[in-house]
Every structure is written in structure tokens, then in C-alpha cells.
């Protein structure tokens, strides 16, 4: 089954403790991206990757890092999480960029206390 898989689904952590949210797609898609979703603000793009080893900042990249060493994986790293990073996070992939649909993962609800 074609899918985008994120882990974990739920995470509660403390301020400053480094964490990684994993994202994997099995569709051989070139383009992958991370979003956060907050009430009243909608989905905001954090980082995106056009292909392996090619990443770029979205609209809200501060406090996040990503890497794209393999085509299928695109982990999101929070080196020193803060409470304002409490949010619902989604990973998505597209076959390529421009005019293709985004396939979203099931989401990761992160709480930083």
C-alpha cells in the first residue's frame, strides 16, 4: 500500500531534550516536506526537499533541522525543543514538484513541557 509513515504518532517531551520525528514514503517520490499545523494558523511549511541531499527552508524553519540522505526518508530534528514547538506535525511527499498531489502522513502530535 502506498503510504507516508510518521513516527511517533504522539510524543510528550521536556524543553531542551533533542528529538527526531521520522518520515518514510514507499512511493519513490522525489519531493518531501514537513508542515506544522496550529489552530487558526493552518498548515505552515517547515522544510522541503526536492531530492536526495537537496533541502530548503519553508516558511517557519527556525528551531528545526532536516536531512535527506535517502530518497525514502526525511527525518525532522528538534535539537532543543521549546514549548512554542508544541504542535501537530505532518510529513508529505509528492512524486515531484509542480502540479502533483501531496500525500500526507498520519501526523505526529508533539507536546513540549
Partner 1 sequence: SQKIEQNSEALNIQEGKTATLTCNYTNYSPAYLQWYRQDPGRGPVFLLLIRENEKEKRKERLKVTFDTTLKQSLFHITASQPADSATYLCALDLWGGKLIFGQGTELSVKP
Give contact residues for partner 1 (rule: CB under 8 A). Answer: 4, 31, 33, 35, 40-45, 48, 50, 56, 58-59, 90, 92, 97-107
Report the nearest approach of partner 1 to the CB of residue 107 (Å). 6
Report the nearest approach of partner 1 to the CB of residue 40 (Å). 7
In the complex with partner 1, which residue's Cβ is closer, 52 or 102? Answer: 102
Please tell me whether the peptide bond between 8 and the residue prior to it is cis, using omega within 30 degrees of 0. yes
Which among 22, 51, 46, 21 has a CA at the least distance from the CA of 34? 46
Report the nearest approach of partner 1 to the CB of residue 42 (Å). 4
- Check the CA dihedral 57-73-18-111 and report its sign: positive
Distances (CA, A) of 52 to 1, 39, 96: 23, 32, 12
In the complex with partner 1, which residue's Cβ is closer, 18 or 21? Answer: 21
102: which DSSP letter? P
In the complex with partner 1, which residue's Cβ is closer, 26 or 80? Answer: 26
Amino acid at each position: 500500500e502506498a503510504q507516508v509513515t510518521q513516527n511517533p504518532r504522539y510524543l510528550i517531551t521536556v524543553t531542551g531534550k533533542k528529538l527526531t520525528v521520522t518520515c518514510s514514503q514507499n512511493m519513490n517520490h522525489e519531493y518531501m516536506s514537513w508542515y506544522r499545523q496550529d489552530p487558526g494558523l493552518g498548515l505552515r511549511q517547515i522544510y522541503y526537499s526536492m531530492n536526495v541531499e537537496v533541502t530548503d527552508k519553508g516558511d517557519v524553519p527556525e528551531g528545526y533541522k532536516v536531512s535527506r540522505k535517502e530518497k525514502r526518508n526525511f527525518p525532522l530534528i528538534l535539537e532543543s525543543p521549546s514549548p512554542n514547538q508544541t504542535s501537530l506535525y505532518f510529513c508529505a511527499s509528492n512524486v515531484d514538484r509542480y502540479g502533483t498531489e501531496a500525500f500526507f502522513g498520519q501526523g505526529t502530535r508533539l507536546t513540549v513541557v
